[in-house]
Amino acid sequence: MPPRLQHHLLLIVRLLLIAAGLGYILWTVRWNDYAAVPPGATEPVTQQGLRSLAAGAHWGWLAAGLILTLPIVPIQALRWWMLMRCRALPVTYFATFRLALVGLFFNFCVPLGSNGGDLVKAYGAARAVRGRDARGNQGPPGAKTTAVISVVLDRIAGLLGLLILAAVAGPLAGGGVIGRRVTFTAWGVLGIAAAGVFVYMNPWTRRALGIQLLTTRVQAFQSLDRAVAGYRHHRGTLAAAILMSVPVHLCLAAATALAGYAIGVPTGLLTLLAVLPIAFLVGALPVTVLGLGVMEPTAAALLDGSGTTFNQIVAMLMAYRAFLLVYGLLGGLAVLTGGGSGESAAPQADEPAAPSEPDTRPAESP
């Protein structure tokens, strides 16, 4: 298939997925008040439509939720900066913070999908580590590939942080159906992720699956494999990156829960802290833009029987997107000032430069 035709087909598929996600929400949500029988009741009661929920929202709760999201981007930038600096990439925290804002802008303000910002961050980071820094120091061999891999590992650390939050909050939410659903899902995915890391890193499974053979015969795969394997000597940094993701998602889930309480969601906080990370995880999959039409049914399935209506779930998740949209707009300012180019990532003359010696440890050969 010609590349141009393939590009057009992918664009069509993306637009169809966006339309499907929006169509699902528009078809399912109730705009006006309606009568329904709540779980366990016998008589119908009036449920608020989306218009009534928006009109009666408590703005103080929404403002508190927005304030609670303030530490998210700084911590995410610090997490990514640690993943780059441990591999001797000459990148400053300030430049990393700018690139993180730019990535958020492309995630929430440009219809590239949930991973569009990661592509922009990878491009900016790769440009940042090319050549020499302000002190004439050269980055380690394979610096551009390592910079791209750092974006992937940063995303994985974030996803694992979501699962850890759900796995801990699930049992704390009680022994009900919702707690069991979330706990089973979170621990199951964590187990699969741990098994995948073991299979990829274990020398025996690498030989059995032909990974070792690929690294010797395919140059592109060899470069990627070396960049990933190089992190085996930085397990502490990887663990810290994963643990740093937990407070990030705790703040985001709590802010979303506050938005829910602003519109009368009756579900307890611990239950929402268990359910919302699973919805965020599903929304991070590159299926639709911002997880539209994917996050809502996931949260609705997990919260079934909790008394929270589908309208409230839609409004609560829209508030979550609005919170991040605010910081995405700040990322737009970084784009206008050149923050997406990565050129500002090199250390200035009065800043400590990254080590210029190449990493000679035998991490590249499993």
For the chain, 366 residues long, give each residue's pLDDT as a single digit of tens.
Answer: 676 777 667 667 767 777 777 777 778 888 887 777 666 666 777 788 888 888 889 999 999 999 999 999 999 999 999 999 998 888 899 989 999 998 888 887 765 555 667 888 888 888 887 655 545 555 566 788 889 999 999 999 999 999 999 999 888 876 677 788 888 888 998 999 889 888 888 888 888 888 777 777 777 677 778 778 788 888 899 999 999 999 999 999 999 999 999 999 999 999 999 999 999 988 887 777 778 888 999 999 888 878 898 999 999 999 999 998 888 888 878 777 765 555 444 433 333 434 444 444 444 333
Name the burial class of residue 363, with classes exposed (0-12), middle (13-18) and buried (19+) by CB atoms within 10 angstroms of its CB: middle
- Residue 159 lies inside a defined structural domain of this protein: yes
- Residue 44 lies inside a defined structural domain of this protein: no
- Residue 51 lies inside a defined structural domain of this protein: no
How many Cα atoms sit within 13 Å of 289 on the Cβ side?
19
| 141 token code pair | 């061999």
Measure Cα distances from 304 to 267, 284, 301, 309 in Å: 11, 22, 5, 9
Is the CB of residue 250 less than 8 Å from the CB of residue 165?
Answer: yes
Spatial CB neighbours of 181, under 8 Å, sequence gap ≥ 6: 302
Is the CB of residue 332 less than 8 Å from the CB of residue 105?
Answer: yes
Task: Give the torsion through C-alpha atoms of 197, 200, 202, 206, to 10 deg.
Answer: 170
Instruction: Enumerate the β-bridge partners of residue 124.
Output: none
- Residue 53 lies inside a defined structural domain of this protein: no
- Domain count for the chain, please give it: 1
Name the burial class of residue 38, with classes exposed (0-12), middle (13-18) and buried (19+) by CB atoms within 10 angstroms of its CB: middle
Q: At what angle do helices 310-336 and 3-28 cross, to 10 degrees?
A: 140
- Residue 313 lies inside a defined structural domain of this protein: yes
Q: Which domain, by its residues, includes 263?
A: 87-339
Spatial CB neighbours of 155, under 8 Å, sequence gap ≥ 6: 115, 118, 284
- Residue 23 lies inside a defined structural domain of this protein: no
Q: At what angle do helices 269-283 and 235-262 cross, to 10 degrees?
A: 120
- Residue 255 lies inside a defined structural domain of this protein: yes
Is the CB of residue 335 less than 8 Å from the CB of residue 345?
Answer: no
- Residue 21 lies inside a defined structural domain of this protein: no
